[in-house]
Structure 1
Amino acid sequence: MIQVCAQCGTRWNVRDRQRVWCPRCRGTLLAPGVVPPVPPQPGNPDPRWRPPAGASRPSGPRQPGALPQGFKWIAVRPGAAPPPRRQRRPLGATPRYASVPRWSLYGPPGEHAPGDVVDTAAVRGPSTTMVRATLVTTMALLAFAAVMHIARYALLLINRSVLLNPVLAAVVTWAGVVASALALFGVIVTAVVLTNWLIARRAGVFAHNGGTDPRSKWQLWAGCLVPLVNLFWAPVFLIELARAEGRTGLRITAWWITWVFSTVVSVMSIATSFVSDAQGIANNTVTTTIAYLLALAAVVLVFQVFQGFESRPVDRPVKRWVMVATGPHDEQSPPPDADSAPPVENEDQNPAA
């Protein structure tokens, strides 16, 4: 159904509902089939009442089948007008996850994919956050001890020609002693925490593989905490754990070599710490500084090894179960390709205009 604006002469398709106002100029829309009359006074024409372009009065009787004035044939969808499209609400920013999302369907209890590890909540062990905090704190203490011994060696060089202030010399000396004690305490705590984590990790992995840990707890504690013995057995325990989980490239060998060098230099530093001459004290200070730097490198490498194991947490299985639609088709039948897809329109039915 067509209505003509009495002000601008625009024709509007109002479909099956009569309108009142022109959407363009807000003028009055004439009723369907009404042509705006020409003003009777030619000297004072009113543009609002000009006939629309192409409109003319019928000069004779209407031909059979012709439409009345103001109507024309248009192709529309059968039935009522389609509902207006719903405006999509803004989706917002792209979601980001700090860790792997865990929403999905889990399989039956006891069923896992190859390479997965089960939850070790039953095995008491330190949390990942605790282990990371302990390693970072120990690295800071070792770096502080190395810096204090470097400052002590610098003062020893200055003291060869200049007499130092007794207060400054005492502060630097005791600061080095305190830094060494804190570093030693940090190393002991780190060894205990890592051993506890290793025992819990091995118990969970071997339980998932359908067995028990071949090493007893006292063997693990003794092999990781007894000095000099742990140089050989602690890396072996880590290698066994990596093989059980199917991991490679964890830099265990690099950490092992660095740890052996650090232990050797530390033993040399302790053996030469009882000298009393000035040159012997300076040499011992240099040896102790190198020992702290090697110990720092060993802790950094063991931190990387720990991060490699925790790259896939033990309580998050890799296998995920999702819901799929099932139908009468055979499960072994190949998926339908694009040529056999169902038609958009039903047969013997014309698509909507």
Structure 2
Amino acid sequence: MSTVVQPCARCGARWAVHGAPMHWCPRCRGVLLSPGPVDAPPERRNYRWVARKPDHRGGRGTGRPRAEAAAGTPCYAEIPRWGLLDTPAAPDTAPAGRSARAAAAAGRLLLWTALAFALAALAELGRYAILLYNRTRLVAPLLLRVSDAAVLTFAVLAGVLALLAAIAAVARLIQLRAAAYALVGRRDPRSPRTLLLGSLIPVLNLVWPGVFLTEAFTGRRDPRALRLIRIWWVFWVLGGTVAVAALCWRTADSLQSKADGVLFTALTDLVAAAVALLTFGVLNALSGRDLRGRARAAHRLTVAVDPAVPVIAPLHRTEQARSTADARQNSAAGDNTGDEAVDREQEEVGAK
């Protein structure tokens, strides 16, 4: 009996190898895998077994109706000892406090702030269109009241949401700094009050938020964090400068300057919306999340240091195989009955 077999990829039967390997299964005409020892361990094979439903053989080509699934909750008779994912254990989460809830709401508030500023920009553009229309025609008083109400409503809403988003972003900043300093075994040298005042006081908040983020992420292995912080810092200062310029423009006296101020205010709202979206992306990137705010999947890599070994040991012709080949050649020179006597027979090895 040969100790080298070829498993069938379709029916699972294993056929003994006598001489040259075969390609097709004599039973089901399925593809035969590469030859290998009958008791070869998994690391010596160049194929892998695939789990299938227990009834996949009986339902193949028989035309019989499938049995209906049993009602009720599916369950296992014992604990499964197989799996496809090796998910890292989730860290223990402490009870969420007020600061943690505010930090968790920072992403949603920033998105709502960006939407409010975009609507405020549309309201300002609508008012500018009314001003252009009013150059040659009269405008209905109702349209003016609706335009004024839209501009005032969205401006106030955007301002309130921007303040709430700033407070929540500072709470997220405190968490990021605490986690960054914990990685190097240190404690944040700045108090939460200092971080809050430096990030919310006008004019000072153009400088200190960038300083706070740069302090926490300086010296990290990934240089993209500092590059991202610097890009955000430039846009943050640009947004603050444009906002101050828009406030100063409102002091103009001429009609043309006021009309240009409306258009410039719309541009300011669009810049503010872009800054809110950029802040949302930066906070998620520094927190290890994607652009949608979802946690990135952990990649667990293993370095392969073992030497390369053959998957299946090479086949060597034994004395029995040589004698069989010689007998076949001698019988071929004699008569056809000798050919039938030494014709190769396939021997099926039962599944282990």
Same fold per TM (> 0.5)? Answer: yes
Supply the distance in 2 between the matched residues of 1:228 and 1:273 (Cα, whole angstroms).
19
Does the CA-based 8 Å contact 2:104-2:172 persist in structure 1? no
Give 1 or 2 for the bigger CA radius of gyration. 1
Q: State the Cα distance separating 1:352 from its structure 2 match.
A: 8.2
Q: Does 2:118 match 1:130? A: no
Q: Percent identity?
A: 29
Q: Does 2:280 match 1:296? A: no
Q: State the Cα distance separating 1:105 from its structure 2 match.
A: 6.3
Larger RCO of the pair (alpha carbons < 8 Å, separation 6+): 2
| SS in structure 2 of the partner of residue 193 of structure 1 | helix
Supply the distance in 1 between the matched residues of 2:180 and 2:54 (Cα, whole angstroms).
46
Q: Aligned residue pairs: how many?
A: 239
Supply the distance in 2 between the matched residues of 1:277 and 1:264 (Cα, whole angstroms).
23
Letter in 2 for 1:257: V
- The verdict on how the C-alpha distance between 1:166 and 1:244 changes in structure 2, with shifts beyond 3 A counting, is same
Aligned to 2:53: 89
- The verdict on how the C-alpha distance between 1:151 and 1:128 changes in structure 2, with shifts beyond 3 A counting, is same
Write 1 or 2 for the structure with the bigger share of helix.
Answer: 2
- What aligned pairs does 1:6-45 form with structure 2 within 5 A after superposition? none
Supply the distance in 2 between the matched residues of 1:230 and 1:198 (Cα, whole angstroms).
13
Does the CA-based 8 Å contact 2:239-2:272 persist in structure 1? yes
From 221, 243, 264, the equivalent of 1:266 is 243
Q: Give CA deviations for 1:135-187 in whole Å, capped at 9, x if unaligned.
A: 11111001000010011011011111111101111110121011111111111
| SS in structure 1 of the partner of residue 203 of structure 2 | coil
Letter in 2 for 1:226: I
TM-score (norm 2): 0.56
Aligned to 2:43: none
Q: State the Cα distance separating 1:243 from its structure 2 match.
A: 2.8
Supply the distance in 2 between the matched residues of 1:204 and 1:90 (Cα, whole angstroms).
49
| SS in structure 2 of the partner of residue 125 of structure 1 | helix
Aligned to 2:309: 337
Aligned to 1:248: 223
Letter in 1 for 2:52: R
Q: Does 2:249 match 1:285? A: no
Does the CA-based 8 Å contact 2:114-2:277 persist in structure 1? yes
Aligned to 2:208: 233
Aligned to 2:71: none
Q: Does 2:180 match 1:180? A: no
Q: State the Cα distance separating 1:249 from its structure 2 match.
A: 2.5
Supply the distance in 1 between the matched residues of 2:55 and 2:193 (Cα, whole angstroms).
56
- What aligned pairs does 1:138-177 form with structure 2 within 5 A after superposition? 138-177=113-152
CA RMSD of aligned residues (A): 4.3
| SS in structure 2 of the partner of residue 282 of structure 1 | helix
Supply the distance in 2 between the matched residues of 1:321 and 1:258 (Cα, whole angstroms).
37
Aligned to 2:38: none
Q: Give CA deviations for 1:280-321 in whole Å, capped at 9, x if unaligned.
A: 321221221121111112112212212212335999996969
Supply the distance in 1 between the matched residues of 2:239 and 2:301 (Cα, whole angstroms).
48
Give the gaps of 5 or more residues in structure 1. 1-86, 93-100, 107-117, 323-332, 344-350
Aligned to 2:87: 103
Supply the distance in 2 between the matched residues of 1:339 and 1:177 (Cα, whole angstroms).
74
Aligned to 1:309: 286
Supply the distance in 2 between the matched residues of 1:140 and 1:316 (Cα, whole angstroms).
25
Q: State the Cα distance separating 1:271 from its structure 2 match.
A: 2.1
Does the CA-based 8 Å contact 1:135-1:190 persist in structure 2? yes
Letter in 2 for 1:166: P
From 155, 163, 167, the equivalent of 1:192 is 167
Aligned to 2:24: none
- The verdict on how the C-alpha distance between 1:292 and 1:219 changes in structure 2, with shifts beyond 3 A counting, is same
Give the gaps of 5 or more residues in structure 2. 1-50, 57-84, 316-346
Does the CA-based 8 Å contact 2:170-2:199 persist in structure 1? yes
